[in-house]
Amino acid sequence: MVHGPGISELEPSIEYPGVSISRVEHTDNPNYLFVYLDISEAARAGFFDIRFSNGTATISYPYSLLVK
C-alpha cells in the first residue's frame, strides 16, 4: 500500500532485476494505491525506488527487498 496526495492518479513502475508489478488496485480514496509485486527467485536483496508518474510529474518511494 502506498499513500500520498492523489497517488492513485499516477502510474507505478519499477526497474529492478527480478521484481515487477503484477497488478495495481485502486481504492475509493485517491490518496491510496495497492501495488502488488512479483518477486522472482533470482531477485536479490537490496533497495530500489517505486516510481509514480503521470507524464509530467514523478514521485519516488524507496523500497527495501529483504532476505527471506
Q: What is the pTM of this model?
A: 0.87
Does residue 68 surpass a pLDDT of 80?
A: no
Question: Buried (b) or exposed (e) across 1-29, using 16+ Cβ within 10 A?
Answer: ebeeeebbebebeeebeebeeeeeeeeee
The predicted-structure confidence for 25-40, as pLDDT tens digits, reads as follows 999 999 999 999 999 9
Q: Helix, strand, or coil here: 55?
A: coil
The predicted-structure confidence for 43-53, as pLDDT tens digits, reads as follows 999 999 999 99
The letter for the amino acid at 37 is L
Q: Which domains does the chain have, with CATH numbers?
A: 2-65 (2.60.40.10)
